[in-house]
Amino acid sequence: MAPRTRSKRAAEKLAVQQLLASGQNAKGLLALPDELCLEIASHFPSVPVPTPLIRKDEESERYHHRYPALLSLSQTCRALRRVFLRYLWQRIEVHEQMKADERTLRNSGELYYCRTDKPHMKELVRQLEVVTIRDPSLAVHVNILNVAVPDHSFESVMEKLARCITLFPNLHTVQLRITACFQHQFFMSNVFKQYTYPQIRTVAVCKHASPIMESCPRMVRLYAYDSLWCDDLDHVVEKRYPQLEVLGTPVNKRSLTRHLVESKYRSFVKGESVFTPLPSFSTKLTQPSGHNLGSPCSGSEFRLDQTPHATP
């Protein structure tokens, strides 16, 4: 048998590359249609939005595998990259113990309360740059933004974030937590004023991140994390957001105000269970209306990674 020459090896390698590029693979993962590949990817658990308080245990650990798994699949070959890359960038998020940029972010013992140090800030900026500068074609795949903006370089990061949101035409859900509160109140009241986000339907924010609400004219779901602003939240919502359908407090366990209970929202959600209305309003709120009352984290109000139905 004649030995294989360098030219023959090069020809064989070229033939394999051409076969892979043509997509003619009748076996294995590459032979599956895109729909089945995405169905497989959908079984990697995602951090629920709005996010309840999840302690460091097996429940929080299961959320750490989605990003590295999808990243690895998208880097395996050209065929898998075409399928999984867009699914990888459906979510812009940074959370505890996340495997990001070849390192694992530190853990503070809670999933929701992200660390506010420099590594978390760098990871957030990196993700924003990937979908807006390195490969702007990925911006159309972003559906969910779930971040805690760190104290480090707070104003520059917030300016970048506010600008980038305008570049995500299919973004429908935003969860935003801010820890650099009092020293940046004036800045926060102005950073979103020059932008409008008509694509956003669901907003989950703390009080100091609430200025983003004014830039979301088609918001239909609001989850307020701070009981500190419940007293004035009812007035703000009634005056500015008559289209609101769902109002909830997924993290705080304190009661909503009486005025909120008397309002005509489609449903109230509190913590991880349905908010029980006051007795005098129970009949009005529980009578059949064609809508289901449910937990914000159970998916009964909306399914993650899907665009919510537009308001008529």
Q: Contact 165/145 with Cβ under 8 angstroms?
A: yes
Residue of 33 and 299 predicted with greater confidence:
33
Q: How much is the pLDDT for 292?
A: 32
233 and 192 within one domain? no
Q: Summarize pLDDT for 168-217 with one digit per residue, the tens.
A: 999 999 999 887 666 777 888 899 999 999 999 999 988 888 899 999 99
Q: How much is the pLDDT for 181?
A: 61
Strand 144-149 with 91-93, pairing: parallel
236 and 196 within one domain? no
177 and 57 within one domain? yes
Distance CA(23)–CA(154), nearest Å, equals 46
Average pLDDT, the chain: 70
**3-state secondary structure at position 279:** helix
Q: Please give the structure tokens belonging to residue 107.
A: 């853990």
Determine the average pLDDT of the residues in 107-131.
Answer: 70
85 and 182 within one domain? yes
The residue among 186, 219, 252 that closes a domain is 219
Helix, strand, coil fractions of the chain, as percent rounded to 5:
45, 10, 45
Q: Output b/e per residue, 118-141; b: 16+ Cβ within 10 A.
A: ebbbbbbbebbebbbeeeeebbeb
Q: Summarize pLDDT for 262-293 with one digit per residue, the tens.
A: 444 555 444 433 333 323 223 333 333 333 33
Q: Contact 91/143 with Cβ under 8 angstroms?
A: yes
Q: Tell me if 287 is assigned to some domain.
A: yes
Q: Please give the structure tokens belonging to residue 265.
A: 């929202």
Share of the chain above pLDDT 90, in %: 21
- 252 has a pLDDT exceeding 50: no
pLDDT band of 117, cuts 50, 70, 90: low
Which of 38-42, 145-149, 240-244 holds the top average pLDDT?
Answer: 145-149
Radius of gyration of the chain (CA): 23
Q: How many domains does the chain divide into?
A: 2
191 and 83 within one domain? yes
Q: Contact 257/265 with Cβ under 8 angstroms?
A: no
143 and 198 within one domain? yes
DSSP per position, 101-163: TTEE----SBSSS---SHHHHHHHHHHHHIIIII-GGGGGG--EEEEEE-STTHHHHHHHHHH
Q: How much is the pLDDT for 286?
A: 36
202 and 64 within one domain? yes
141 and 250 within one domain? no
Q: Contact 260/248 with Cβ under 8 angstroms?
A: no
The residue among 173, 198, 219 that closes a domain is 219
238 and 182 within one domain? no
Determine the average pLDDT of the residues in 113-127.
Answer: 73
Q: Tell me if 153 is assigned to some domain.
A: yes
Residue of 74 and 286 predicted with greater confidence:
74
Distance CA(223)–CA(122), nearest Å, equals 27
- 304 has a pLDDT exceeding 80: no
The residue among 191, 219, 247 that closes a domain is 219
Q: Tell me if 23 is assigned to some domain.
A: no
* DSSP for residue 250: S
Domain of residue 251, residue span: 228-296
